[in-house]
Amino acid sequence: MYEIDYLPRFRESEADGLVSTKGYFYYFQDIAAGLYHEMGKGNNKLPQKYGVSWVYSKYKLKIYEKTDFDHMIHIATWVSKLDAVRSLQEMRITRGEELLCEGRLESCVVDMKHKKIERLARIELPDDLAEGNPTSVEPFTRRLKPSENLEYRYTHTIEYTDIDLSRHMNNLHYIDMFMNAFDLDFYDRFFITDFEIHYINQAYYHEELRIYCERIGDEYRLFAFNQDDAVAAACIIKVKPYETA
């Protein structure tokens, strides 16, 4: 297990001045990367030593409460499962005894030259790394497929600040992109309780992604289509009105 205590910052807040979906995703990325960095198996070492880098394929968050800047939070992550090509990491954020958020992350390593997924054996992870003990977060949705009921929202062009070491769009910038498919009134009325995202096809500098959305009950499904009409990423967002959240 890898864990830290942290005081949230104003830059991580949303329009209501509190930390929630966006901030929690940033914390998850930081601590998930931190676990492998501490082992010498992070993206600060893998490209030079093995010619690969970690790529995140799926995230899922369950959000219970927002947090402010006055209280320390505790963030913990651990590897619950490893198979031939996938690492599953769990995440839990607490404030004292209060559970704020839980999450799960699926990641793999990709050969940076050939853009292909590699077996985890290539990076020589410890045999006893997987601890089990999954959180209460439900399993990932098996497959997210677009329907004929999608409505166009807007188009996002990938710029320099969207890309990372792998020269593709950083996974967290998809979170911002999908959240921007809704207006301020939506966020004034609704609280995001669940956010699941699948990264399907990598997108690169100056590509255009078209964002579409459909609503199914309390669930919104969003898809980002690239210029070849392939899905680059897809997500499911669940919300509750504030008066019942």
Q: What pLDDT digit, counting tens, does each position of 81-116 carry?
A: 999 999 999 999 999 999 999 999 999 999 988 889
CA-to-CA separations, 77 to 4, 16, 41, 135, in angstroms, rounded: 9, 27, 15, 10
What CATH class does 141-245 carry? alpha beta
pLDDT at residue 244 is higher than 70: no
Burial bucket for residue 95 (CB in 10 Å: 0-12, 13-18, 19+): middle
How far apart (Å, rounded) are the C-alpha atoms in residues 129 and 81?
A: 8
Backbone angles phi, psi at 158, to 5 degrees: -75, 120
CATH 3.10.129.10 in the chain, residue ranges: 1-137, 141-245
pLDDT at residue 136 is higher than 60: yes
Q: What is the structure's pLDDT at 48?
A: 93
How far apart (Å, rounded) are the C-alpha atoms in residues 71 and 179?
A: 26
How far apart (Å, rounded) are the C-alpha atoms in residues 198 and 212?
A: 15
Pairing of strands 219-225, 87-95: unpaired
User: What pLDDT, in 10s, does the model give residues 181-231?
Assistant: 999 999 999 999 999 999 999 899 999 999 999 998 889 999 999 999 999
Higher-confidence residue of 155 and 244: namely 155
Write the single-letter amino acid at 237.
Answer: I
**Taking the chain, what is the end-to-end CA distance rounded to the nearest angstrom?**
31
Residue 46 banded pLDDT, cuts 50, 70, 90: very high
CA-to-CA separations, 94 to 64, 75, 91, 171, in angstroms, rounded: 10, 7, 10, 24
User: What pLDDT, in 10s, does the model give residues 75-90?
Assistant: 999 999 999 999 999 9
Q: Which 3 state secondary structure label does DSSP give 11?
A: helix
Q: What CATH number is given for 1-137 in this structure? A: 3.10.129.10
pTM assigned to the model: 0.93
